């Protein structure tokens, strides 16, 4: 038997996904809130469309995970592409288990599933698998893994064509609104257990600079209309989109101040 096996996540092995993604933070109460949000989301997806996470086991131990779902299941995408499966991320944080083929096995498993009639598409053909590769600075960059497995760069995304040709996603545009002036809205996504803790970190950063500012947190899957109104941007302050992350704290603080004080 091969040292690597792949299993879809069900209620039975759901904790293995968290053992991978939150491996060094399992005791952190804030991370646990992100995990519980993700658990609820996965359970909802299992009931609605079937498995949306795969875990790879190396010598019986969970070491890598892959997150995927049909674009048509995304409530904050008003014009989903038919037959498109989104590959959201692949992660193997364990140095001793890297380079053993765990993540390659996950991608191959997803592609094979999409070539048949994937359960998540309820019997419809898969047109292509699309992914926005992002980098956390850890391990091998995701785009390298995707490229080695037949994905090609197509604009902002990487895609693996199956029964159809690649088409770009529908883009939303944020229209400035009076109701966003003088306050902040942070949009988080329950599909990733880091998203909610990160959103709280951004909230604390904002209120650290502007203690009286009202800051709202929006769960993108539970308040999709509001997320669409904000063009799915992660952070809108004073009716301005702010781009940045907590890894570059000083830069993010500067962007927040620019948005609030209107300086450039």
Considering only 10, 117, 135, 214, the residue that binds ligand COA (CB under 6 A) is 135
* φ, ψ of residue 88 in degrees (nearest 5): -85, -40
CB of 47 to ligand COA, least distance (A): 25
CB of 33 to ligand COA, least distance (A): 17
Taking residues 28 to 67 in sequence order and writing x for each that binds ligand COA by CB under 6 A, - otherwise, the string is: ------------------------------------x---
Q: Which two tokens stand for residue 119?
A: 């359960």
CB of 108 to ligand COA, least distance (A): 9
Q: Could you tell me how many residues of this chain bind ligand COA (CB under 6 A)?
A: 20
> Judged by CB under 6 A, which stretch of 132-140, 160-168, 177-185, 247-255 contacts ligand COA?
132-140
Dist CA 161 CA 163 (whole Å): 6
Interaction between residue 217 and ligand COA (CB under 6 A): no
Q: Which two tokens stand for residue 36?
A: 């519980």
Dist CA 92 CA 139 (whole Å): 8
CB of 145 to ligand COA, least distance (A): 4
State which residue has the least CB distance to ligand COA.
Answer: 139
CB of 28 to ligand COA, least distance (A): 16
Q: Of 155-174, which residues contact ligand COA (CB under 6 A)?
A: none
Dist CA 13 CA 234 (whole Å): 30
CB of 142 to ligand COA, least distance (A): 5
Q: Of 225-244, which residues contact ligand COA (CB under 6 A)?
A: none
Interaction between residue 148 and ligand COA (CB under 6 A): yes
CB of 17 to ligand COA, least distance (A): 12
Which residue number, 64 or 260, has a Cβ lying nearer to ligand COA? 64
Q: Which value, in Å, is the radius of gyration of the alpha carbons in the chain?
A: 19
Strands 214-219 and 183-188: parallel
Q: Of 16-35, which residues contact ligand COA (CB under 6 A)?
A: none
User: In the sheet that 183-188 helps form, which strands lie side by side, from edge to edge?
Assistant: 214-219, 183-188, 235-237, 240-241
Please report the beta strands in the chain, taking only residues with DSSP state E, as ranges in sequence order.
4-8, 53-58, 61-70, 84-91, 128-131, 152-154, 157-161, 183-188, 214-219, 235-237, 240-241
> For the packed helices 195-209 and 249-261, what is the interaxial angle rounded to 10 degrees?
60
Q: Under 8 Å CB-to-CB from 36, ≥6 apart: which residues?
A: none
Taking residues 87 to 126 in sequence order and writing x for each that binds ligand COA by CB under 6 A, - otherwise, the string is: --xxxx-----xxxxxxx----------------------
Dist CA 37 CA 32 (whole Å): 9
CB of 147 to ligand COA, least distance (A): 9
Place of tokens 């592609």: 111
Site residues (vs ligand COA, CB under 6 A)? 64, 89-92, 98-104, 135-136, 138-140, 142, 145, 148
């Amino acid at each position: 038997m091969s040292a690597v096996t792949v299993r879809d996540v069900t209620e039975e092995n759901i904790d293995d996904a968290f053992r991978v993604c939150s491996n060094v933070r399992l005791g952190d109460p804030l991370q646990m809130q992100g995990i519980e949000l993700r658990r609820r989301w996965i359970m909802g997806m299992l009931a609605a469309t079937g498995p949306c996470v795969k875990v790879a086991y190396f010598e019986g131990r969970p070491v890598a995970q892959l997150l995927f779902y049909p674009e048509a299941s995304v409530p904050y995408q008003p014009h989903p592409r038919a037959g498109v499966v989104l590959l959201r991320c692949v992660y193997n944080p364990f140095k001793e288990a890297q380079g053993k083929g765990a993540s390659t096995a996950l991608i191959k498993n997803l592609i094979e599933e999409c070539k048949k009639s994937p359960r998540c598409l309820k019997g419809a053909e898969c047109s292509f698998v699309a992914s926005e590769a992002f980098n956390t600075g850890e391990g091998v960059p995701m785009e390298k893994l995707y490229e080695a497995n037949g994905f090609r760069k197509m604009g902002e995304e990487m895609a693996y064509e199956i029964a159809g040709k690649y088409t770009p996603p529908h883009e939303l545009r944020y229209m400035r609104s009076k109701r966003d002036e003088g306050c902040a809205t942070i949009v988080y996504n329950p599909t990733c257990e880091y998203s909610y803790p990160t959103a709280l970190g951004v909230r604390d950063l904002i209120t650290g600079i502007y203690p009286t500012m009202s800051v709202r947190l929006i769960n993108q899957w539970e308040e999709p209309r509001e997320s669409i109104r904000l063009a799915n941007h992660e952070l809108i302050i004073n009716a301005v989109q702010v781009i940045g992350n907590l890894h570059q704290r000083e830069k993010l603080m500067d962007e927040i101040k620019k948005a609030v004080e209107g300086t450039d």
